[in-house]
């Protein structure tokens, strides 16, 4: 599975598919303090990305994938507007 | 040449011919709406078709032509003769391109690219008179870019990436800022905008933001796309256009000046270190001691904290020294920044629109108020620099640099630089800035217009690094004057509904016309080898032939009657002889007409390699596609009906079927997945299979989901075999999330696939093995098939059996029939063949009739890979029939393949053996 939910952390791995969005959204609603581990993530479907943009959970670990990190970091590291 | 391309060329020629006629009609009567609509459709179709191939030069010009026609159609633009001229030129150009494509077997060289670009420009000018005022579309593009490019967004880009981009640009790459605002429902079309952006060829970096703030997060719809994307791309706009050709309406782009990337960042802090350094560095710059300069920059960088703003400037300086060793003005500007702790405003207007590097006969735009202000500011700065004390060693370099800046500003503003060189010479002679100060003062107070030619010469010569500073500004125009110049409204995006532009007589720039005039000689002979016929005509012919086939079948009856009823055996024989002749001709006719309507499935298959490549790359999966049976032919309608469902199936396989390469490796599979698309024809059906070796489908999950959703009741579910349960995927509303990720996105689609196929009397079957792969089998009937059927008799009725299904016919003595449990069997050539009576299969309560010798008639048929003996009463002859699907409800009875009309007017029911048992 590209996503594993731990107590307070959702671990996203590899290429995360669109269907995860709904799930992740629900999880973040339930765990507002939950953080995200993107270490081994290579791609997020736009729907999943959108959930992160909307809810701005803390990103605990940024992706190792440099290119992905360069896209995500400037936007998601900023505090919620 | 491949058939798809061939078809495109043929169709293209016809459309061009039709368009030319419509244009002529419009010229005679500009109010002729019908011709206008016809013309628009033709151009639209051409554009769409050309998009299938790699002909960006053709697609672009057609797109521009279509936009103009759209405005004319909506009434916001008049149809003028000039417009007709340009449109005719477009048609000629496309016609020449088609000729070339045909000659070069599908390759379009770039020999017409400049023509097509010039035409595109003229069409845009025509469409937006404001832009015509400016006589340059790029000027208004700048404003348009200002509308959508948020330079701040680009500056979120990490410095290293900006530096990489700068290097790319310095090596001649064009930098584009691409904005993609996907449709809200994009996800439902299996679109992943983020993935798409990341996979743009040459993408360096990108960012995104929400389109509208989410009002209520609790009710947020995850599958409603609310993100806009931007990317910095090093590549040509053609590539970008081509890449986004399916969603071009949602994409904008503009060129980014590399200078814009130079924005140092960091803490504002300096120190004596930098003071010393800058003095030394200016000296090195003046002497042309690049090595020394580079070395000292390096040293200072090592000594200072990397987070300082000044350090960032120095890093940029290093990059510039390396990549643009001749851009002295830029280098000096950066050095000055180290000194003054601020960078002059070279960056403010640095994003320039998508101009081509060497645009034919580019005409310079008017300068906007904003730009005018910048020029002023720059000139003021130069005046200040000239006002600095003269007694420094590097005064000569400073003077030259100032002159370069002044010259640039003047070029941009379209002013004359007459006398500047003399002033420079004088200043250099006395090592003083005074002569230049005077000249500049005079120039600021009495600006003089430059000659047109001079400006054009400037703008058409290749860009040199030194020019980059000037290039940071929009190109000037010299033709307009007075307060009317200024900001032009943004050019409407292609195909977007735009506010109608005020209608004015457009001013077409003369030089553009000269270069782009594309004339095709009217007397060139056009050879037509292919006749294009309307489908209705073919259909009529086909129906007539069908009737002939039926009519001819009545001849044997007639012969029989002549013999038996009227007792004229001779006549009967002659009729039979004639029948065999007519029969042969009718058969050939039938074959010929079918050929006319037949197309190979490769017509649809051709798009797949590209589709698979694009999607798999987007999903970062490795997939090898193999196609089999491309030559399988089927009726045109059938082929067309298959295209969409197939596309869907392929997307599903790629999206959900295949595991990512790493996961595959872990599972002991090959890294790359194999996708096989196989076509073959089978009696009256064409079958296409999409087979992947991905993760397969978990039947249990589908059962659970169906239960959960209440789509199927518990009992039915219990009774279902795994295979049947698998077919539940085709139910509408079996939505998925995690459940059926391996099949389909959100349950949108599979039911559509099934219903689309059902419309055409086709079917779809899914089989899958968990972990091994999935096979989707689409089958469609041929709308009209000539079937050889064998007629058999049972219970005093006749039935047809397709010859393809028949293995042999045998008479079996009754004593050779053995019973195994309840099943009758016999042994044929050492093989046990189960025997089933047709009457029992059709629920007819009659025993089969034996012949005089007490033998039973057994028709051995294929049942999948097995052979089964069908017991009938007797065999009749083999006949050609036109199989028609049963109408209405009857069509859903699977054991009949259809019906056919016989020569004596009776109806023959044709059985489908595979569904009988």
Instruction: Please give, one letter per residue, the 3-state secondary structure of B833-852.
Output: EEEEEHHHHCCCCCCCCCCC
Cα–chain center distance at B698: 33
DSSP output for B447-514: --BPPHHHHHHHHHSPP-GGGHHHHTSPPP-SS--STT-SPPPPPPPTTS--PPPPP------HHHHH
Interface contact A46-B192, CB threshold 8 A: yes
For residue B538, pLDDT beyond 70: yes
Determine which of B192, B615, B662, B734 to mutate to test the interface with A (most A C-beta atoms within 10 Å): B192
For residue B484, pLDDT beyond 60: no
Rounded distance between C-alpha atoms, residue B222 and residue B589, angstroms: 58
pLDDT for the residue B869? 92
pLDDT digits (tens, 9 = 90+) for B105-144: 777 777 777 777 788 878 877 776 654 443 343 433 333 3
B881: left (phi over 0), alpha (psi -120 to 50) or beta: beta
Q: B340 or B655: which carries more pLDDT confidence?
A: B655
Rounded distance between C-alpha atoms, residue B401 and residue B192, angstroms: 49
Q: Is B30 exposed, middle or buried (0-12, 13-18, 19+ CB in 10 A)?
A: middle
pLDDT for the residue B872? 92
Lowest mean pLDDT among B128-132, B220-224, B313-317, B470-474: B470-474
pLDDT for the residue B893? 82
Rounded distance between C-alpha atoms, residue B75 and residue B78, angstroms: 7
Under DSSP, the state recorded for B654 is I
User: Phi, psi (5° rounding) for residue B734?
Assistant: -80, 75
pLDDT for the residue B151? 59
- pTM attached to this predicted model: 0.36
The answer to whether residues B787 and B553 touch, using CB atoms and an 8 Å cutoff, is no
What 3-state DSSP class applies to B179? strand
Smallest CA-to-CA distance from B812 within B864, B870, B865 is with B870
Nearest to A75 among B209, B217, B619 (CB): B209
Average pLDDT estimate for B203-225: 80
ipTM of this model? Answer: 0.91
Interface contact B660-A15, CB threshold 8 A: yes
Helix runs in B803-870, H state only: 838-841
Nearest to B222 among A25, A42, A73 (CB): A25
B75: left (phi over 0), alpha (psi -120 to 50) or beta: left
Lowest mean pLDDT among B14-23, B251-260, B768-777: B251-260
Interface contact A50-B217, CB threshold 8 A: no
Angle at the Cα of B890 (from B776 to B681), degrees rounded to 5? 35
DSSP run (H or E) holding B881: strand B874-883
Smallest CA-to-CA distance from A23 within B738, B58, B369, B147 is with B738
Helix runs in chain A, H state only: 20-30, 46-55, 66-76
Contact list, B220 vs chain A (CB under 8 Å): 25, 54
Interface of B with A (CB under 8 A): 156-158, 161, 182, 186-187, 192-195, 198, 205-210, 213-214, 217-218, 220, 222-223, 225-227, 619-621, 655-656, 660, 662-663, 736-738, 741, 745-746
Q: Is B726 exposed, middle or buried (0-12, 13-18, 19+ CB in 10 A)?
A: buried
The answer to whether residues B235 and B202 touch, using CB atoms and an 8 Å cutoff, is yes
B893: left (phi over 0), alpha (psi -120 to 50) or beta: beta
pLDDT for the residue B800? 92
For residue B730, pLDDT beyond 60: yes
Query: Residue B355 corresponds to which tokens in the numbers above?
Result: 């101009």
Interface contact A19-B663, CB threshold 8 A: no
Rg of chain A, C-alpha, whole Å: 11
- Other C-beta atoms closer than 10 Å to the C-beta of B803 total 14
For chain B, the average pLDDT equals 75
Interface contact B205-A71, CB threshold 8 A: yes
Interface contact A25-B157, CB threshold 8 A: no
pLDDT band at residue B525 using 50, 70 and 90 as cut-offs: low
Smallest CA-to-CA distance from B730 within B752, B709, B701, B713 is with B752
pLDDT for the residue B581? 92
Q: How far is B309 from chain A (nearest CA, A)?
A: 19
Rounded distance between C-alpha atoms, residue B144 and residue B121, angstroms: 16
pLDDT for the residue B799? 92
User: Phi, psi (5° rounding) for residue A42?
Assistant: -110, -25
pLDDT for the residue B345? 55
B431: left (phi over 0), alpha (psi -120 to 50) or beta: left
Share of chain A above pLDDT 90, in %: 0
- Other C-beta atoms closer than 10 Å to the C-beta of B318 total 17
pLDDT for the residue B792? 92
Q: Which residues of B589-620 are buried (b: 16+ CB within 10 A; e: fewer)?
A: bbeebbeebebbbbbbbbebeebbeebbebbb
pLDDT digits (tens, 9 = 90+) for A8-46: 888 888 888 888 888 888 888 888 888 888 888 888 888
What residues contact B528, with CB distance under 8 A and at least 6 apart? none
Q: Where are the beta strands (DSSP E) in B701-784?
A: 763-769, 773-781
Interface contact A54-B157, CB threshold 8 A: no
Nearest to B620 among A15, A18, A51 (CB): A15
Cα dihedral across residues B302, B306, B311, B313: positive or negative: positive
How many Cβ pairs closer than 8 A exist between chain A and B?
98
For residue B602, pLDDT beyond 70: yes
pLDDT digits (tens, 9 = 90+) for B366-406: 566 777 777 777 888 778 777 777 777 677 777 877 887 78
Average pLDDT estimate for B468-494: 42
pLDDT for the residue B734? 67
For residue B499, pLDDT beyond 70: no
Q: B512 or B192: which carries more pLDDT confidence?
A: B192
């Amino acid at each position: 599975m590209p996503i594993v939910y731990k107590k307070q952390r959702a671990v996203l791995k590899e290429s995360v598919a669109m269907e995860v969005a709904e799930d992740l959204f629900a999880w973040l609603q339930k765990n507002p303090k939950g953080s995200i581990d993107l270490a081994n993530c290579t791609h997020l479907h736009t729907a999943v990305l959108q959930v992160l943009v909307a809810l701005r959970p803390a990103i605990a670990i940024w992706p190792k994938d440099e290119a992905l990190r360069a896209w995500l970091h400037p936007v998601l590291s900023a505090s919620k507007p | 040449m491949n058939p798809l391309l061939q078809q495109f060329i043929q169709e293209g020629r016809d459309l061009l011919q039709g368009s030319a006629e419509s244009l002529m009609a419009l010229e005679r009567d500009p109010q002729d709406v019908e011709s206008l609509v016809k013309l628009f459709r033709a151009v639209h179709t051409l554009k769409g078709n050309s998009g299938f191939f790699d002909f960006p030069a053709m697609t672009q010009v057609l797109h521009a032509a279509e936009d103009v026609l759209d405005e004319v159609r909506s009434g916001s633009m008049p149809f003028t003769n000039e417009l007709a001229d340009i449109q005719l030129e477009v048609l000629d150009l496309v016609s020449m391109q088609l000729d070339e494509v045909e000659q070069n077997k599908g390759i379009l060289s770039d020999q017409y690219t400049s023509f097509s670009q010039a035409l595109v420009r003229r069409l845009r000018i025509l469409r937006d008179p404001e832009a015509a005022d400016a006589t340059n579309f790029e000027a208004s593009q700048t404003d348009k870019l200002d509308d959508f490019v948020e330079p701040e967004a680009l500056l979120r880009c990490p410095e290293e990436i900006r530096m990489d981009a700068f290097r790319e640009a310095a090596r001649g790459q064009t930098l584009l800022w691409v904005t993609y605002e996907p449709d809200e429902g994009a996800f439902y079309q299996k679109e992943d905008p983020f993935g798409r952006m990341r996979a743009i060829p040459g993408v360096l970096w990108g960012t995104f933001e929400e389109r509208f703030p989410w009002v209520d997060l609790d009710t947020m719809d995850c599958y409603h796309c609310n993100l806009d994307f931007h990317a910095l791309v090093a590549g040509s706009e053609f590539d970008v256009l081509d890449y986004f050709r399916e969603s071009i309406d949602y994409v904008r782009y503009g060129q980014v000046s590399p200078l814009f990337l130079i924005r140092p960042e960091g803490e504002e802090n300096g120190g004596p270190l930098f003071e010393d350094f800058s003095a030394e560095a200016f000296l090195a710059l003046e002497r042309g001691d690049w090595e020394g300069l580079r070395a000292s920059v390096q040293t200072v960088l090592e000594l200072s904290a990397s987070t300082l703003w000044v350090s960032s400037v120095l890093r940029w300086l290093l990059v510039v020294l390396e990549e643009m060793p001749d851009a002295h003005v830029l280098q000096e500007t950066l050095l000055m920044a180290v000194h003054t702790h601020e960078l002059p405003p070279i960056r403010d207007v640095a994003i320039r629109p998508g101009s081509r590097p060497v645009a034919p006969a580019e005409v310079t735009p008017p300068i906007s108020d904003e730009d005018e202000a910048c020029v002023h500011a720059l000139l003021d700065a130069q005046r200040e620099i000239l006002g600095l004390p003269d007694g420094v060693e590097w005064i000569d370099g400073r003077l030259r640099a100032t002159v370069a800046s002044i010259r640039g500003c003047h070029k941009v503003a379209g002013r004359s630089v007459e006398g500047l060189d003399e002033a420079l010479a004088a200043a250099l002679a006395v090592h003083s800035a005074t002569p230049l100060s005077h000249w500049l003062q005079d120039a600021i107070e009495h600006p003089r217009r430059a000659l047109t030619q001079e400006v054009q010469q400037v703008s058409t010569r290749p860009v040199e690094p030194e020019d980059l500073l000037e290039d940071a500004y929009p190109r000037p125009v010299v033709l307009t004057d007075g307060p009317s110049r200024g900001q032009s409204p943004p050019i409407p995006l292609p195909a977007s509904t735009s506010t109608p532009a005020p209608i004015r007589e457009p001013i077409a720039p003369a030089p553009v016309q000269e270069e782009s005039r594309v004339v095709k000689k009217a007397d060139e002979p056009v050879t037509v080898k292919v006749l294009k016929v309307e489908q209705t005509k073919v259909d009529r012919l086909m129906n007539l032939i069908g009737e002939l086939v039926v009519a001819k079948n009545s001849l044997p009856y007639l012969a029989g009657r002549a013999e038996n009823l009227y007792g004229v055996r001779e006549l009967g024989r002659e009729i039979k002889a004639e029948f065999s002749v007519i029969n042969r001709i009718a058969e050939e006719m039938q074959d010929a007409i079918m050929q006319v309507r037949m197309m190979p499935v490769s017509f649809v298959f051709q798009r797949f390699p590209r589709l698979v490549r694009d999607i798999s790359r987007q999903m970062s999966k490795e997939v090898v596609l193999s196609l089999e049976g491309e030559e399988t032919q089927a009726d045109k309608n059938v082929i067309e009906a298959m295209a969409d469902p197939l596309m869907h199936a392929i997307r599903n396989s790629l999206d959900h079927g295949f595991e990512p390469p790493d996961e595959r490796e872990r599972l002991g599979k090959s890294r790359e997945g194999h996708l096989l698309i196989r076509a073959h024809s089978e009696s009256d059906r064409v079958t296409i299979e999409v087979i992947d070796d991905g993760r397969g489908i978990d039947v249990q999950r589908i059962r659970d989901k169906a239960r959960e959703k209440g789509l199927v009741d518990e009992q039915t579910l219990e009774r279902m075999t795994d295979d049947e349960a698998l077919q539940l995927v085709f139910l509408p509303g079996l939505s998925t999330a995690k459940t059926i990720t391996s099949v389909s996105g959100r349950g949108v689609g599979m039911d559509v696939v099934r219903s689309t196929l059902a419309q055409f009397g086709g079917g779809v079957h899914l089989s899958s093995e968990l972990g091994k792969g999935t096979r989707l089998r689409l089958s469609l009937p041929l709308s009209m098939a000539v079937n050889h059927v064998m007629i058999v008799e049972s219970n005093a009725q006749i039935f047809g059996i397709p010859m393809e299904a028949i293995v042999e016919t045998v008479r079996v003595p009754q004593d050779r029939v053995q019973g195994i449990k309840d099943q009758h069997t016999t042994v044929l050539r050492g093989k046990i063949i189960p025997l089933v009576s047709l009457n029992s299969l059709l629920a007819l309560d009659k025993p089969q009739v034996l012949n005089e010798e007490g033998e039973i008639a057994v028709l051995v048929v294929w049942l999948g890979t097995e052979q089964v003996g069908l017991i009938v009463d007797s065999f009749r002859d083999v006949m050609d029939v036109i199989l028609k699907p049963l109408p209405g409800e009857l069509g859903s009875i699977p054991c009949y393949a259809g019906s056919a009309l016989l020569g004596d007017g009776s109806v023959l029911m044709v059985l489908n053996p595979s569904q009988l048992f």
